Structure 1
Amino acid sequence: MAASQERDSSELEREAKRLKTDSCDSCDFPKNESARESPISGFETRRILRDSAREKNIFVHGKIDDQEAVVILEKTPIRQDTLPEMFKTSTLRLEMRNDIYSTYNLQPPSHLNEIKTTVICPATEKHVKKYLRQETFLIEESGDDYRNITLPYISSKSFSVQWVHNILEKRAEADRIVFEDPDAHVGFVLLPDFKWDQKQLDDLYLIAIVHRRDLKSLRSLTSEDLPLLRNIREKGQEAIQERYGVPACKLRAFLHYQPSYYHLHVHFTSLDYEAPGCGVERAHLLSDVIQNLEADSAYYWSRSLSFPLRADDALLLKFREAGKL
């Protein structure tokens, strides 16, 4: 189930980015919502799709004004800089005391007890299934499998990456961009992933999105793309060091395969953060990708790659039909 949890959590963070633009553009929620105008005040719960006591989150399916919706609630991390205020101003209720041990229920001030909330509305059936707990299978995809099964499947689907284009064209999230190299061939934009609240560095997470639109995934890369990958590694690390003071030796830079959206992007996370989707069955270190392409231009076109797929994934059905599972 580890692969499933990684894919599910990773899906959440990347989808949160997409849905912030794609979903909100299609909703009728006010741009400047106050608590009084909260879109979830009238949320009608239908079922719990998934929850995790370990990750402190819950995924809820329901309706908002007769529109299908998914609401994701996540407890925000406890920050070191808030501890003095929390200890001083919180109320405690004793639950148990035994010798030197005691446990309490701590109620901090409301501004120290936030819950990050992602609203997806109108939510499609695909969104609902995405967050529903599912059995996961590990696929080993050969180069021929990619060309005969995966690529035709991808080409037959209309996977929207309009939210990516909105970012690249500065029509959305322009104020969140940390760094940009505008070069059309080797350039990219770097911005925080929505899983990171930017209040502490332990779970630092940024995404580098390339300006080029012809690169869909790891499988698209050849040695001709090495200048792009080296540029992302070098300038991405420099920008993070300058902005956040985190050196390259404390960063993990990787690509996903399969990616959750088909526009090439690179993940930068703190090495101290066990980021969702950074497991060996899905993540490929950027430095390894560069070295592999230096050794063989067609490395990712021909070699076998493994990745997890959920039970309801249509691509899994294609592999079943081809007798590959």
Structure 2
Amino acid sequence: MIDQNSVNELLKGFVFNKVLQDDDISKSIDILGTINGKDAILKLEKTIFNKNLVEKDLVNSYIGDVHSESNNDIYFWGLLSSQANLVSLPSSKYSLIYPATETHIKKYQKSNFHMVRETPEAYEKVVKPYIQTMLGDRLKWVKNILYDGAEAERALFKNDDYIILPDMKWDGKDVQSLYCCCVVYDDSILSIRSLNNSHIDYLTRIRDSILKEIPAIYAKDGITSDQLRLYVHYQPSYYHFHIHIVNVDHTGHAGSMFTGKAILLDDIIDNLSFLGEQGFSQRTLSYQIKDTHDLWSLGMSDYAI
């Protein structure tokens, strides 16, 4: 675990190279640069408004300088600066990948999406060999969380099946934008392609546990089980089975929840009862993929819809 001073030094040593992509909707920007001569990716994102402070009638203390642009009858609009406070009113949040690999850079670089149809044959020919290159040391950070106590202070809950942590895209405070990640201990499950009907009870147990524990953790905020969206990605960002847990009202990371990317955990469990022993290994799966993704150049471009 790197201490705060070390992180500060890393950020201060960031040297700009280029903007990888920016998003007007999420108010975020991904920047490629270097730290100590090594590639680094810095993601900056505007924080959401703190509803609790508004409800405590602290709006005036939030407003700084004001510039009026125009008005029409009862309607006024313009610009203002906000009074930031690192704890209660941070203006932005950051995430840093350092050292960043070429795979990271491709993931965050702006590119075009394509819909592909991955047949079982395409999985065996293109995807499965690629997955093997993404295991080992590339999952060291996952093993650190599961077995070596890394990020233990951030863990919300864990049992013999899984551990839940706040996703780095969430500030960990405002439950309206709640976004957590459940990482399972079973490392034989790389993605939904690894699942068959023998996993139904296992996934059902995990689902029911999540829907019990998260509302208990955030009981004072009034979170209920029917306010949680549980889903997995295909293709996932990393090949160790994990489940995304998001407040159903939160659409700030809609790209993460698009059809062609997200698959509801309930649908996975239900499908497994029909798919039998072969499970998802024999399904044709359609999904979106960037043309900067290694899989595209390795052959999935041949399976574009």
- Using the size of structure 1 for normalisation, the TM-score is 0.83
- Superposed displacement of residue 156, structure 1: 4.3
1:319 and 2:293 correspond = no
For 2:279 and 2:174, how far apart are their aligned partners in 1?
A: 38
Question: Does the aligned pair in 1 maintain the 2:196–2:279 contact within 8 Å?
Answer: yes
Number of matched residues?
A: 291
Structure 1 equivalent of residue 46 of structure 2: 75
Letter paired with 1:310:
K
Over aligned residues, Cα RMSD in angstroms? 2.0
**CA distances 1:228-271 after superposition (whole Å, capped 9, x unpaired):** 10111110110011011322211111111111100011111111
SS of 1:138 mapped into structure 2: strand
- Superposed displacement of residue 285, structure 1: 0.9
SS of 1:39 mapped into structure 2: helix
CA gap of 1:158–1:290, structure 2 versus 1, over 3 A, is: closer
SS of 2:249 mapped into structure 1: coil
- Superposed displacement of residue 193, structure 1: 1.0
Structure 2 equivalent of residue 286 of structure 1: 265
Structure 2 equivalent of residue 15 of structure 1: none
For 1:49 and 1:148, how far apart are their aligned partners in 2?
A: 31
For 1:170 and 1:104, how far apart are their aligned partners in 2?
A: 51
For 2:99 and 2:243, how far apart are their aligned partners in 1?
A: 29
Runs (4+) of structure 1 exceeding 4 A deviation are 156-159
**Candidates 18, 28, 33, aligned match of 1:47:** 18
- Using the size of structure 2 for normalisation, the TM-score is 0.88
CA gap of 1:221–1:110, structure 2 versus 1, over 3 A, is: same
Structure 2 equivalent of residue 310 of structure 1: 290
Q: How does 1:176-191 map to 2 (within 5 A)?
A: 176-182=154-160, 187-191=161-165
CA gap of 1:153–1:91, structure 2 versus 1, over 3 A, is: closer
CA gap of 1:178–1:215, structure 2 versus 1, over 3 A, is: same
Question: Does the aligned pair in 2 maintain the 1:92–1:104 contact within 8 Å?
Answer: no
SS of 1:272 mapped into structure 2: coil
For 2:134 and 2:181, how far apart are their aligned partners in 1?
A: 24
Structure 2 equivalent of residue 277 of structure 1: 256
Structure 2 spans left out of the alignment, 5+ residues: none
1:296 and 2:268 correspond = no
Structure 2 equivalent of residue 205 of structure 1: 179
**CA distances 1:171-191 after superposition (whole Å, capped 9, x unpaired):** 311111111122xxxx11112
Identity of aligned residues (%): 30
CA gap of 1:105–1:231, structure 2 versus 1, over 3 A, is: same
Range with bigger deviation, 291-300 or 70-79: 291-300
Letter paired with 1:32:
Q
**CA distances 1:251-307 after superposition (whole Å, capped 9, x unpaired):** 111111111100011111111112432111111111111111112222311111112
